[in-house]
Amino acid sequence: MKSCSRQLYSRGSITVYAALMMCALVPLFFAAILSVKVKAGRMQAANSVDQSLFSLMAHYDRQLVRDFDLFFLNAGSGGSDPDIGSCIRQMEDAMDYILKPNKGLILLGGKNLLKLERESGAVTAYTLATDAGGIPFEAQAVQAMKDSALLDGISRLRDKLTRREQVEQAGSEYVHSDIMGNYQTVANASKEAEEDRRRQEEEAAERGEELPAEETEVVVPEGFVNPIPALFRLYRRKVMDLVVPDPGNISPKAVDGESLVSKRTLAKGFGIIDATGSAAGMDNMCYIAWIIGHFGSYASPKEQCGLSYQLEYLLKGKLKDRDNLSAVVGDLMKVRQAVNMLFLFTDPEKSSELTSLGAIIATVMMVPVLEPIVKTILAALWGYVESLVDVRALLEGKKVAIVKNRESWQTDVEDLAASGGSLANLTKDIPGGLDYAEYLGTFILVAKRGTLTPRAMDLVESTMRCKGREDFRLDACIASLSVEMNIRSEGRVTFPVEASISYLDL
């Protein structure tokens, strides 16, 4: 009897012990499972935020990519500021497919092992294309041109720019702006000399004498025609009428200045990220390559755009194609004037011709004492007319030498005087020279980024609007984004998930 009691007691103690152990282990087991599920949920939540950001940024503006190789998320709505709420809603919808894999599935849904729910979410920072003076815009353009074959051409263009600047600096000392004043001085002196000579002849005739001929060391060729009046008539004419091959075909396009990025008040991002950049070295070369590769000019106008002469607008910022072209032509005239004056005074043959012609013209005008001024006027007018022919050649699609020589010089003053000042058929195409687009490229290389970038954004916007996107705004285009989403796991733990994304990192 006692033996049976001891056996029952032994069995009962084991059962109690096992029950007590199970009471301790089961909660621990379920706690471990819950901990694993929470950790797995945290990873799944982070993955859902990352994936939703990628999904959101995948809605980049396709037309911007096709036309300009720029990646931005267009968050504008009807021409308003960026709709950040819409971005959050798109992200939340994309997150739900990861947090709840059975979303949208009725018949084929499986068991969801993790219980995850969105509690709240917000955008903590975002950067617009126009923020920080357009640096995100520049960064996209630079990224588009990295490792591009165009960079070799731009590097060569930079070398030509250096050469051009050296020549212009050397020639600037010869440029005289007061052509009108000097010409008037000589003309008045010549008129007074003629009147004085006429008076002397009349007085000598009254006395029955002949006025002796003036002796001069300068021999005036028979039939010599003073070229200065013909050159001066060209100087007084409108430059555009002389240099544009077909003035009637100049683009009449204009844009509304108040609607452009560079003129209006822009929307701003907050907590701006990725708003740093460099304007030097390779990045600058990439940026210039992108500009030249994506915008038109007089030589290759863009038709379906707000302005056809876009590179000219980048340089001058005027609202009409004609005004931009006229301003650029003025700059080209100044550049070529310095180069041509340098050649006239430094080339032995041309310098000798200037001296000889100056002496002959001063003698013909009866002002030999003003020979130095006459020579200066002749050089200035001759260099100016040569510059007219240079610019006309550029607008005809020809190349013009950076530094002139006897072969690339295009005008002869005596022929101009005999032909009445016509510039027809004088232009030459010089191998190895710069064409019109390359000259604009040299101007853009030294342009200020502070004005160049806003104008480039103007052109992007106006082009997009001309293609049916009337409400398109670059200050509604997102370049980078940061969010914070609060996710509740297993109905017990809520944790925040932060993430950022930028098109430059994709």
Q: Which residues pair with 400 in a beta bridge?
A: 434
Q: How many residues comprise the chain?
A: 506
Q: Which residues pair with 254 in a beta bridge?
A: 320
Please tell me whether residue 116 adopts helix, strand or coil conformation. strand
CA distance 317 to 320: 9
CA 87 to each of CA 38, 77, 84, 478, 482: distance values in angstroms, whole numbers, following the listed order: 28, 12, 5, 10, 11
Return the H-helix or E-strand segment holding 489. strand 477-489
Q: pTM of whole model > 0.85?
A: no
- Residue 317 has φ and ψ, to the nearest 5°, of 70, 20
Are 487 and 96 in contact by the 8 Å Cβ rule? The answer is: no
Please tell me whether residue 122 adopts helix, strand or coil conformation. strand
Are 457 and 134 in contact by the 8 Å Cβ rule? The answer is: yes
Nearest Cα residue to 438 out of 289, 231, 319: 289
CA distance 315 to 330: 12
Q: Are strands 493-502 and 477-489 parallel, antiparallel or unpaired?
A: antiparallel
Are 192 and 366 in contact by the 8 Å Cβ rule? The answer is: no
Residue 30's pLDDT is 62
Buried b (16+ CB within 10 A) or exposed e, 81-91: ebebeebbebb
Residue 277's pLDDT is 52
446 contact partners, CB below 8 Å, separation of at least 6:
161
Structure token pair of residue 35: 């901990």
Residue 5's pLDDT is 53
SS (H, E, C) 156-177: HHHHHHHHHHHHHHHHHHHCCC
Structure token pair of residue 258: 């108040």
Residue 317's pLDDT is 93
The CA angle 434-438-444, to the nearest 5 degrees, is 140
Q: Which residues pair with 270 in a beta bridge?
A: 126
Alpha helices (H) along 296-320: 310-316
Q: What is the DSSP string of 17-50?
A: HHHHHHHHHHHHHHHHHHHHHHHHHHHHHHHHHH
Give the burial class of 4: count Cβ atoms within 10 A of its Cβ; 0-12 exposed, 13-18 middle, 19 or more buried: exposed
CA 139 to each of CA 62, 135, 144: distance values in angstroms, whole numbers, following the listed order: 18, 6, 9
Mean pLDDT by 10 residues, the chain (506 residues): 53 68 71 70 84 91 92 80 87 85 65 78 91 90 74 66 64 57 62 62 60 59 81 87 89 89 88 58 78 91 88 95 96 89 87 86 75 82 90 93 87 72 79 88 85 93 89 92 88 85 85
- Residue 8 has φ and ψ, to the nearest 5°, of -65, -40
Please tell me whether residue 207 adopts helix, strand or coil conformation. coil
Residue 303's pLDDT is 80
